[in-house]
Chains A and B, each alone.
Chain A
C-alpha cells in the first residue's frame, strides 16, 4: 500500500491542491511567486492577505508559528510539552544518514523541536487547547513524539474541560519510527474517545495536506471538521492512486471540494474567515459545555 508521506511529498499531481506549497520568494519576502498560477505577488500584500494569492486564491501552506499567529488572540499562546524530542527507537539509518542527524537538521531548519506545536490559547477571548502541525518538519509526519504531544494536548483539554482545535498538515505516519508511528494513530484516537466521554468539543481543521495515517486517525474524528480551500485531503495521494489503478483521476480527487462533496467534512472555510468561524463554534459549544460541567459536578456530589 502506498499512502503516508509519499503522497504528500509527490511533486506532481493532477488536482487543484498544489503540491509545492513552499514559498518561492525573494529575500525578506519582497516578492513571492504563487506556485499555483505563477503570479508574482508583492510580499507585504501577500502577508497582509493571510498568505493567500490575490489572483487565484491559492492558500499557501503556513508554518505552525504563522498558523498560531493567524488564529489566536495576540499574546495568549502558552506552549506546553515543548521539550519533548524524538529519540531514535529503531536506530534508523537511511542512505547512511542516521535519523538522529536528520532530526537535528530539521530542527535547525525550522526552529521547531518536532512537527507539531501544542499549547493553550484564546480565540475571541475564549480559552482552548490548540494543536498545530507543521509540514516543513519531515512532511509533518507523525512519529512517537508528534503522537505523544497530541495525546497530551487531548488529555489537557479533557482535564481542564477545554475545547480542542487540531490543525492538521501531514503526509501521514513517519517511516523512520516504524510501527511505533502507526500505533500513534491508535493512541491519539483512544485519547479522543476519552475527550468525547467528558463532553469536550473537538474541532478538526484540515489544511494542505492531510493524508495517510493522520487522515485515518485524529484528523477525521473531529466533532466538527473544517478544511481550507484547495487542501489535499485523503488517504492516498492522487499520484499514488493513479499508479495503483493505472488510470487518470478526475481533476478534483482528494481536494477539500472532493471530501465536502462526499460528505466527509462540514465545511470549507476561507482563511480570512477562520478566526470568526472558530469563534462562533466556540461560543455555541461553550454553552453546552457549561451544562456538561454543571451536570458532571452535580453527579460527583
Chain B
C-alpha cells in the first residue's frame, strides 16, 4: 500500500526508491552476465538497506504524530471498517437487520456472532469502502433507525446473556431533514439511558473516528478502548473550529486544543486501554490489526463476563458518574467573582 498522507511524503519517496531498486535488482538477476561479480550483491544489500530505512522512518514518524496527523490516519480510506473486523475476527456471523419501526440503516451494521467460541452481539458504524457502498452507508453517518436498530440488537444480547461489542467509527450522526424528522436526538438519548442500564457487558472500541453524539450513541459501556491512532471528540475538529473560531480551516488547531487522541484520553482516565496498531497504521495490515483486536476483546470480555451483573451495572454507573466530578476541585468557590 502506498504512503499517501501528507506527512508521509518522505516515506513515499523512500517507497519509490525501494521499488526502483527492486526493478534494478530484478533486471540484474535476469541478466547476471551483464554485471561485474559482486555488483548484484551490492544492489541487493542496498535494497535491504532501503527497506530497513523505511521501517525505521515509519516508526519514528508514527511515534511522534501530531493530533491532526492522527485524524488523517483515523480517516484513512483504507482503514479497516466494522465489516472487515467482523469478517476477520469472528468464526460465525449472522447479520440482524432493521429497527422494526422504520428501516434498516446501513451506517450501523451488526448481528450475532461467535468470537473465540463465545456468542456475542457485535455492531458498529460502517463508512463504506467504494462509492456505491459509501452512498448506501451515508458515509457511516447514522440516522435514527440506525441507533434504534443498535438498541434492538443490544436488548437481544441482554435477553440471551451475550456480551455486546460496539465498534465506533463515525464523523458524526446524520445531519439532514430526515434525521430530524425521525428524531435523531431522541434516538441517541434513548440509547444513552438504555446502554447505561443494559444487563449484560458492553465493550466499546473506537476504531477510527469517535465523532460526537453519533459516536456516544453506541459507546456507553463498561470499558472504552481506542485504537492507537483513533480519535474521540465532542465535535469533529472542523465543526469545533467553526463553532469556536467561525472557520473550519482551523480544524488542526481544534484537534490540538481539544485533546482528542487515544493517548490524551487515556491520560485523563476517559478510556481504559489503547489497542496498538500495526506499524504505519491499521490500514497497512488488516489481518494483523484484527488479530490484535481479537486478543484484546477476548481478554476484556473474559474479565467482564466473570462479574455478577449487578456489580457490573454499579461499576458502569460509577464509571460515568465520576467523569468531571473532580474538575471543580481545581477551582474553589472563592474564585467566583
Interface 0/1 of A202-231, CB less than 8 Å to B: 000000000011011111110000000000
Q: How far, in Å, is B316 (CB) from chain A's closest CB? A: 8
Determine the distance from Cα of A104 to Cα of B337 in the docked complex, in whole angstroms: 7
* Stretch of A33-41, A59-67, A188-196 on the interface side: A188-196
Task: Tell me the interface secondary structure of chain A in the complex.
Answer: helix
The yes or no answer to A95 lying at the interface (CB within 8 A) is yes
- Judging by beta carbons under 8 Å apart, are B259 and A178 in contact? yes
- Judging by beta carbons under 8 Å apart, are B327 and A89 in contact? yes
* Stretch of A44-52, A145-153, A266-274, A287-295 on the interface side: A145-153
A220 interface neighbour in B189, B316, B317, B333, Cβ under 8 Å? B189
Closest to A84 in B: B328
A253 interface neighbour in B180, B183, B234, B258, Cβ under 8 Å? B180
- Judging by beta carbons under 8 Å apart, are B257 and A1 in contact? no
Which chain A positions have C-beta within 8 A of B325? 144, 148
B234 interface neighbour in A88, A173, A190, A234, Cβ under 8 Å? A173
The yes or no answer to A107 lying at the interface (CB within 8 A) is yes
B213 interface neighbour in A104, A182, A192, Cβ under 8 Å? A182
B192 interface neighbour in A85, A95, A217, A245, Cβ under 8 Å? A217
Which chain A positions have C-beta within 8 A of B192? 185-186, 189-190, 216-217
B323 interface neighbour in A2, A144, A174, A264, Cβ under 8 Å? A144
- Judging by beta carbons under 8 Å apart, are B244 and A175 in contact? yes
- Judging by beta carbons under 8 Å apart, are B173 and A1 in contact? yes
Q: How far, in Å, is A253 (CB) from chain B's closest CB? A: 6
Q: How far, in Å, is B302 (CB) from chain A's closest CB? A: 25
Interface 0/1 of A77-94, CB less than 8 Å to B: 000000111111110111
Q: How far, in Å, is A188 (CB) from chain B's closest CB? A: 8
Which chain B positions have C-beta within 8 A of A179? 232-234, 258-260, 265, 268, 270
Interface 0/1 of B236-247, CB less than 8 Å to A: 101110111100
Determine the distance from Cα of A92 to Cα of B233 in the docked complex, in whole angstroms: 14
Determine the distance from Cα of A249 to Cα of B134 in the docked complex, in whole angstroms: 24
Determine the distance from Cα of A99 to Cα of B328 in the docked complex, in whole angstroms: 14
B328 interface neighbour in A145, A218, A262, Cβ under 8 Å? A145
Determine the distance from Cα of A244 to Cα of B336 in the docked complex, in whole angstroms: 40
Determine the distance from Cα of A264 to Cα of B260 in the docked complex, in whole angstroms: 32
Residues of B2-31 at the interface with A, using a CB-CB cut-off of 8 Å, are: none
The yes or no answer to B171 lying at the interface (CB within 8 A) is yes
- Judging by beta carbons under 8 Å apart, are A86 and B141 in contact? no
Number of contact residues on A: which range applies?
Answer: 35 or more
- Judging by beta carbons under 8 Å apart, are B244 and A189 in contact? no
**Residues in chain B within 8 A of chain A (CB atoms):** 141, 171-173, 175-177, 179-186, 188-190, 192-193, 196-197, 211-214, 216-217, 220, 232-236, 238-240, 242-245, 257-260, 265, 268, 270, 316-317, 320-321, 323-325, 327-331, 333, 335-337
Extra contacts, 13 of them, besides A183-B323, A183-B324, A220-B190 (Cβ < 8 A), are: A85-B328, A88-B331, A89-B327, A144-B325, A145-B327, A148-B325, A178-B233, A179-B258, A183-B270, A185-B189, A186-B196, A219-B189, A244-B176
**Residues in chain A within 8 A of chain B (CB atoms):** 1-6, 9, 83-90, 92-95, 100, 104, 107-108, 113, 143-145, 147-148, 151, 173-175, 177-187, 189-194, 196, 212-213, 215-221, 234-236, 240-241, 244-245, 249-250, 253-254, 258, 262-264
Q: List 18 A-B contacts (CB under 8 A).
A: A3-B172, A9-B243, A87-B331, A89-B268, A90-B258, A144-B323, A147-B324, A175-B240, A175-B243, A179-B258, A182-B234, A183-B320, A185-B213, A193-B193, A194-B317, A215-B185, A235-B173, A262-B183
